[in-house]
Amino acid sequence: MKLQNFINGAFCDPIQKDWIDNYNPSTGAVYGSIPNSSQADVAAAYKAAAGAFPSWSSTTVEERSQLLSKISNLITAKLAILAKAEAKDNGKPLSLATAIDIPRAAANFQFFANAITQFSSEAHESLGKNAINFTLRQPIGVVGCISPWNLPLYLFTWKIAPAIAAGNCVVAKPSEVTPLTAYLLGEICQEAGLPNGVLNIVHGLGKTTGQAIVEHPQIKAISFTGGTQTGAHIARVAAPMFKKLSLELGGKNPNIIFADCDYEKMLDTTVRSSFANQGQICLCGSRIFVEQSIYTKFKKDFIQKVSELKVGNPFSENTNVGALVSKEHLAKVKSYINTSEEQGARVLFGGKEVSVKGCENGYYLSPTIIEVSTNDCVLNQEEIFGPVVTIMPFSTEKEVLQYANNVKYGLSATLWTNNLNRSMLFSKQLQAGIVWVNTWLLRDLRTPFGGMKESGVGREGGNEALRFFTEPKNVCIQY
Ligand code: NDP
């Protein structure tokens, strides 16, 4: 299967006819190729987007809303095809892609189809000066959207939908390791009748294709989700050009468990928040802190529950944990596990590659629980982004707050307690963009989404995204 770029409403080969292999992580086999796009392909995508902008930015909000709804409906109609593509490309269980990834991609378009009809700006009357100020929210022009491999269509559409809803035209790049659903989105946009050039999708490597988007002098805003190091690099490139930047980066999120929690709910959710999507979600709670009085019980029960998870072929119905996304990523995750002993940590469960019958060359790793003795170790300080969690006991609120905040990241935090005062205290003091109390990954698309510290700059979601993708202009009229 040979994928193509989607530029100006048509599929086309990369100009230099250069291709990259695309792997199926569940078997380790190459199953297709994707364009290794160059600067020239990005320039062509920009040209198409710039050509479409005058007309797209002057469409009515109703027209845009209807088109976004149409795209959403088509994603839902093609759910089975898209979910299979996502499972094959990423290695995630088909059940997860069917229940979460693809419905969320449809929801992203539907949400912004609605949100744009409700988006409004402020007016300020300057009393005594006979003047009225109002804010125009105008689309920026051509914007760049760059997304990672862990939730491919889910995160790709989370950027594209608000960008085009607000009247921008887009040059977008999915991760090179998970290009398939982005390719299929091009077909869906054609079918929905999205005007040519409004969305352009270029495939290729981050360091060349992605870099060309970030460096393009006329692409005025970049919405990026990915690793912290890549985010820092993008910021360095974009800052001298004064581009608007939204950076959603890595996380090393604490999961804090007090003895007074609803234990069974906490246990089930903690299994999910640790290992959903093979632990490859930026919001996974990878550092688990448990109140001393229930530590031994938790350890035993958690290991038991995790041992029941079935690692297997993403296409098997009873698979809970699929394949990691790539050979390189598997090696990286294993290299962290292998340093456990020298860090004074102990692998309590897992830590080994799993051979799956019929998929012997796939990238499977058993869910891994590591007991650490300090929060300062590498295992607790660096993002592993795989099916690996650490556990550690604590005695006091003050102590665990320190552990939770003593990390360079600040994306999300989960707290388990039935004490209202403690919930409020921790919600205020945790250094994280998102705090979940007695739940995890319960999302409402109207809320601000993003991180503090090295987890990013800016917020996505609801009006935050529409604000990012528009330029506010103050108009002052004296009468
Ligand atoms: P990367 O930072 O490696 O890549 C993200 C995207 O950026 C990919 O499309 C990549 O292309 C591209 N890219 C790489 N280098 C450049 C460059 N120089 N210029 C422009 N684009 C570039 O992240 P991963 O794909 O490995 O994703 C995992 C990371 O994403 C984790 O750190 C995770 O925490 C984070 N993440 C954050 C989320 C959040 O909302 N905060 C949500 C989900 C993930 P290519 O793949 O082709 O190299």
**CA 232 to ligand 1 center in whole angstroms:** 11
> Tokens at residue 203, please?
């495939």
Nearest atom in ligand 1 to 204's CA: 47
Which atom of ligand 1 sits closest to the CA of residue 248?
Answer: 41
Amino acid (one-letter) located at 420: L
* Token pair recorded at residue 338: 């292998």
C-alpha–C-alpha distance, residues 235 and 242, integer Å: 10
DSSP code at position 208? I
Residue-by-residue DSSP string for 370-393: EE-S-TTSHHHHS---SSEEEEEE
Distance 393 CA to ligand 1 centre (A): 33
Least Cα distance to 182 among 22, 385, 15 occurs for 22
Q: Where are the beta strands (DSSP E) in 203-351?
A: 221-225, 244-248, 254-257, 287-291, 346-349
pLDDT at 338: 97
Helix (H) or strand (E) holding 200: strand 199-201
Catalytically annotated residue among 169, 282, 359, 377: 282
Other beta carbons within 10 Å of 128: 6
Q: Closest by alpha carbon to 241, among 211, 214, 223?
A: 214
Cα–Cα dist 103/92, whole Å:
15
- Are the C-beta atoms of 139 and 168 separated by less than 8 Å? yes
Encoding tokens for residue 79?
Answer: 């759910």
**DSSP label of 99:** I
Q: How far apart are CA 284 and CA 157, in angstroms?
A: 21
Do β-strands 412-416 and 254-257 pair in parallel, antiparallel, or remain unpaired? Answer: parallel
Please work out whether the CB of residue 250 comes within 6 Å of at least one atom of ligand 1: yes
Q: Is 284 a catalytic residue?
A: no
Q: Tokens 């105008």 sit at which residue?
A: 138
pTM: predicted TM-score of the whole model, two decimal places: 0.97
DSSP label of 206: I
| Residue-wise pLDDT tens digits, 267-314 | 999 999 999 999 999 999 999 999 999 999 999 999 999 999 999 999
Identify whether the C-beta of residue 7 lies closer than 8 Å to the C-beta of residue 203: no
pLDDT profile of the chain (479 residues), mean per 10: 97 98 98 98 98 98 98 98 98 98 98 97 96 98 98 98 98 98 98 98 98 98 98 98 98 98 98 98 98 98 98 97 98 98 96 97 98 98 98 98 98 98 98 98 98 98 97 98
What would the pLDDT profile of 417-434 be if each residue is shown by its tens digit? Answer: 999 999 999 999 999 999
Residue 149 near ligand 1, beta carbon < 6 Å: yes
CA of 225 to the centre of ligand 1 (A): 6
Output the six-digit token pair for 385: 């982004």
How far apart (Å, rounded) are the C-alpha atoms in residues 51 and 385? 40
- Any ligand 1 atom below 6 A from CB of 249: yes
Q: Could you tell me the CA-to-CA distances from 130 to 122, 124, 125, 476 in Å, in that order?
A: 17, 11, 8, 10
How many percent of the chain have pLDDT more than 70? 100
Task: Give tens-digit pLDDT for 191-249.
Answer: 999 999 999 999 999 999 999 999 999 999 999 999 999 999 999 999 999 999 999 99
pLDDT of residue 356: 97
Which contiguous run of DSSP H or E holds residue 474? strand 470-478
Beta strands in 38-188, from DSSP E residues, in sequence order: 123-126, 131-139, 142-146, 169-173
